[in-house]
Amino acid sequence: MRVVRMPYTRTVRGRLQVKVDVPARLRPFFDGRSALTRFPKSGENVAEIIGRFQRQIETAQRQLDGIVLTVSDFPPNVKPGDFLDRAVFAAVAVGARTLQFGNDTRPAEPPTKIEPVDFDGLLDDWVTERGVSATTKRQYRDIMLDMFSSTGLRHNDVSRVSEDHALAYRNKLLSRVKVGDFGLVTAERRLEAVKSIFGYAVKRAKLFKHNPFAEIARFGAKAATRLPFDDEERDRILRAARSAKSPIVRWANWLAAYGAGSRMAEIAEAMTTDFCTLADGTVVFSIREDTRENDNQTLKTPESERRIPLHPAIIREGFLDYLQSLPKGPLFPSIPVDRDGRRNKYASNSMGKWLREVVGITDERKSFHSWRHDVKTRLNPKVPEKTHDYITGHASQKVGHRYIHPPMSELVEAIGKLPVAPNRA
């Protein structure tokens, strides 16, 4: 049997609801609401409710068309003064210069018109100014689209997002944490991403005056602090890597343990041409962007570009044999590229699984990135700060140090202070 539903009605949580949309230009008359809704009580006439809502919208439309108010235009139980305040606000919102009440004419200030702000255009400007990677752009775009859909917005006009929408998005994130969709840290990062985009639109681009996310409270979640590996863990990982079949697992751990790359992207997206041998026999790993496969394979910071001598332990392990077995191109061609043209995501996932399941590193504060902490911690008491900042690609807190490029002899000496390789079993 076909059920014919009355217009302006819908079913919400099993109950009939009347819903009449309010045109955007009339919403100031209705406290900014986008629709008039009501759940009819037993015995109420649905058609009368719809008619009442339509008459209220028509009244608001007449007031904006002629900006003339009469006592008969006031809805029941609304004081004329209150309704007049709404009419004044609405008149300003649509650009009316006069508001007539009977024979009284009151001047209204010309409004500051808020132009629509297309999200994609805003994001392009933000990306250009911040210089972020294509991967980051996609991630932020996905988060913003999630914000629009989660709050029921069917447009991409950033200027029309209100504080109510912002609060609704925060609540939606929290509800998804509760059902296990993701953790609180992920929710925090998504909220921060949206705050960043809106903050840019208001403060830098001056596209509109009010940031609806400015007063939305953070969750207060913090990512787990990374820790270096202890001596036993360090040896256990390097020994296990010796027998790993995966080239990225085999060599990334040894390279990172001896300072030759401290972020997965620096190693996983390296090219065979990034390695060269100097006249004195020192093998150098040049971490740089301009030789990578595509423009999306970027380094995190300008300080990430550097030249690191390979520790003798890496050479003794047979890394040069592996390097020479490859054709000119990616250092780890077996790692697939993702939709952004990057290899580090798949490399990180496989490495994380290997560390947990094969080596038994289960402390959530320890991951492949712990090598960065490990090298920094071990070199800190042995070499100058400017030297270990350079080796790990850190931006020094001292501006003058950023202009220092240690000579290769100093780097060779510093790398040599890292622990000896574990013996073969």
Q: What is the pLDDT of residue 286?
A: 93
Question: Considering the domain boundaries, does residue 224 fall inside one?
Answer: no
- Whether residues 73 and 189 share a domain: the answer is no
Q: What is the pLDDT of residue 69?
A: 42
Last residue of a domain, one of 204, 219, 247: 204
- Whether residues 69 and 176 share a domain: the answer is no
Q: What's the gap between Cα 175 and its chain centre?
A: 19
Question: Considering the domain boundaries, does residue 127 fall inside one?
Answer: yes
Q: What is the pLDDT of residue 146?
A: 92
Residue 95 predicted with pLDDT over 70: no
Partnered with residue 100 across adjacent β-strands are 68, 105
- Whether residues 259 and 183 share a domain: the answer is no
- Whether residues 239 and 386 share a domain: the answer is yes
Residue 77: domain span: 9-107
- Whether residues 96 and 126 share a domain: the answer is no
Confidence of residue 38 (pLDDT cuts 50, 70, 90): confident
- More confident call, 115 vs 260: 260
Question: Considering the domain boundaries, does residue 2 fall inside one?
Answer: no
Confidence of residue 90 (pLDDT cuts 50, 70, 90): low
Question: Considering the domain boundaries, does residue 326 fall inside one?
Answer: yes
Q: What is the pLDDT of residue 86?
A: 57
- Whether residues 97 and 235 share a domain: the answer is no
Is there a contact between 274 and 286 (Cβ–Cβ < 8 Å)?
A: yes
Q: Looking at residues 85-111, what average pLDDT do you find?
A: 49
- Whether residues 189 and 251 share a domain: the answer is no
Q: What is the pLDDT of residue 96?
A: 47
Which DSSP state fits 200?
Answer: I
Over residues 193-213, the pLDDT tens digits come to 999 999 998 887 677 778 899
Most confident of 28-42, 115-129, 171-185: 171-185
Tell me the CATH number at 296.
Answer: 1.10.443
Partnered with residue 104 across adjacent β-strands are 101
- Whether residues 307 and 408 share a domain: the answer is yes
- More confident call, 384 vs 112: 384
Question: Considering the domain boundaries, does residue 214 fall inside one?
Answer: no
Q: Looking at residues 337-343, what average pLDDT do you find?
A: 88
What is the sign of the dihedral through the CA atoms of 56, 62, 68 and 71?
negative
Q: Looking at residues 23-50, what average pLDDT do you find?
A: 82
- Whether residues 239 and 196 share a domain: the answer is no
Question: Considering the domain boundaries, does residue 424 fall inside one?
Answer: no
Is there a contact between 258 and 242 (Cβ–Cβ < 8 Å)?
A: no
Q: What is the pLDDT of residue 106?
A: 47
- Whether residues 328 and 197 share a domain: the answer is no
Question: Considering the domain boundaries, does residue 319 fall inside one?
Answer: yes
- Whether residues 395 and 341 share a domain: the answer is yes
Q: What is the pLDDT of residue 142?
A: 92
Last residue of a domain, one of 186, 204, 222: 204
Question: Considering the domain boundaries, does residue 15 fall inside one?
Answer: yes
Q: Looking at residues 43-58, what average pLDDT do you find?
A: 83
Most confident of 151-165, 259-273, 274-288: 274-288
Cα separations in angstroms, 64 against 54, 85, 256, 288: 15, 13, 68, 62
- Whether residues 195 and 282 share a domain: the answer is no
Number of domains in the chain: 3
